[in-house]
Structure 1
Amino acid sequence: MVSSHGGHLTELRMLADAFAGHDLFYVTYESERTSQLDIDPYTVENIGTSPVSMATAFGKILRWFWAQRPDVVVSTGSEIAIPAFVVGQLFGATTIFVESWCRVTNRSATGKLVYPFVDHLFVQWPELLDEYGEKAEFQGSVV
């Protein structure tokens, strides 16, 4: 379960019940919101647009995924999803991106960037299906 803090983490937590009975771990940013999770998350510095922070996050996620060996990597965004999906693909994990509920008619920057690295991409509005292409699925919203 990978996401930035704030709304992305809120949506990701709404999806957690779908994985009941499976071992879960979170990769996110250190913040007051992450302290509210029911399990201790792996945390990285906020990446933003920093190439150094992205490279650092990539290295940390590589180590964590090496130890955890996830079968599935799920993310609701934002930029923290990029290294997580790349590393997840390297380990043969199924990768799932859930586009943000606030994206009704246009793709997020993260969605555009991770599209090549995901096995499944879910949109929360049917109007967004045509923007993404054949990988996109609409199964309703998490909100």
Structure 2
Amino acid sequence: MLKTLFLLGVSAFASVFLILVGREWYCSSKKNGLANPHLLVYFGSGGHTGEMLNLLGAIKDHQYPVRSYVVGADDKMSYSKAKALISDNPHNKSSIFTIPRARYVKQSWSTTPLTAIWSLLFSLKVIFWNKNGIPDVILCNGPGTCIFLCLEGYVTKFFGKRIRIVYVESFARVNNLSLSGKILLPFVDRFLVQWPDLALKYKGAEYVGIVT
């Protein structure tokens, strides 16, 4: 059963990806150029969202005048935070997108493939059918749902559009990486950690200190 679901998911990914690229790639790439860099930010809820807000505080509005904020479909707190960011920066071209979570807290692993596929399809739309254009940079710090966004961003380099991906590991990860971090480490352009031991332990990780 799980194997069948996995194959269906892969098939859906490939089919939708090719359709989206074929129809939207050229227009989206032209719509948003380097003159208006487009930043896509994923709010992972709870502490992840709090840390992401701290990160965004260090980024000047003019550096990324086009922004897409992505939140979980059930994450009202992160949605309100993203909405406040847009209100505080009315001159920026910003939008909020909601996607289902790949896996919910305490969800059975037997049903996870179904929600994961559903989340994957929504994240494809955020990357390739984004009304702001295809993003130039993806910024995320977990949890699992952001994996799809990052991997979809990664494959764009094979189609003539390179999306830079920056992953920031959570402050709570002192000795070991999260599962999301372990999966994404080989695929991101920069992998930032907040504790020095992680940079020593994992090749490719960059120690940047505590995000405040």
TM-score scaled by length of structure 1: 0.90
The secondary structure found in structure 2 opposite 1:41 is strand
* % identical equivalent positions: 28
Residue 99 (structure 2) aligns with: 44
Among 170, 173, 184, the alignment partner of 1:100 is: 170
- List aligned pairs for 1:61-80, cutoff 5 A: 61-66=123-128, 67=130, 68-80=133-145
Residue correspondences, number: 142
Deviations 1:95-137 (Å, cap 9, x if unpaired)?
Answer: 111000011111111100111221110000111112221x211
Equivalent positions of 1:95-134 (< 5 A) are 95-133=165-203
1:82 — aligned with what? 147
Shift of residue 81 of structure 1?
1.6
Report the AA paired with residue 3 of structure 1: F
Residues 1:139 and 2:208 aligned together: yes
Contact 1:65–1:87 (Cα < 8 Å) also in 2: yes
Give the equivalent residue in structure 1 for 2:56: 16
- Could you list the runs of 4 or more consecutive aligned residues of structure 1 that deviate by over 4 angstroms after TM superposition? none
Measured after TM superposition, the shift of residue 139 of structure 1 is 1.7
| Aligned counterpart for 1:58 among listed residues 110, 120, 134 | 120
In 2, Cα distance between equivalents of 1:129 and 1:87 = 26
Q: For the pair shown, which has the larger CA radius of gyration, 1 or 2?
A: 2
- Residue identity in the other structure for 2:71: T
CA RMSD of aligned residues (A): 1.6
- Kindly provide the amino acid, as one letter, of the partner of residue 69 in structure 2: Y
1:115, 1:81 → 2: CA distance? 13
Q: Unpaired runs of 5+ in structure 2?
A: 1-40, 87-94, 104-108, 157-161
Q: Is the 8 Å Cα contact of residues 3 and 80 (structure 1) preserved in structure 2?
A: no
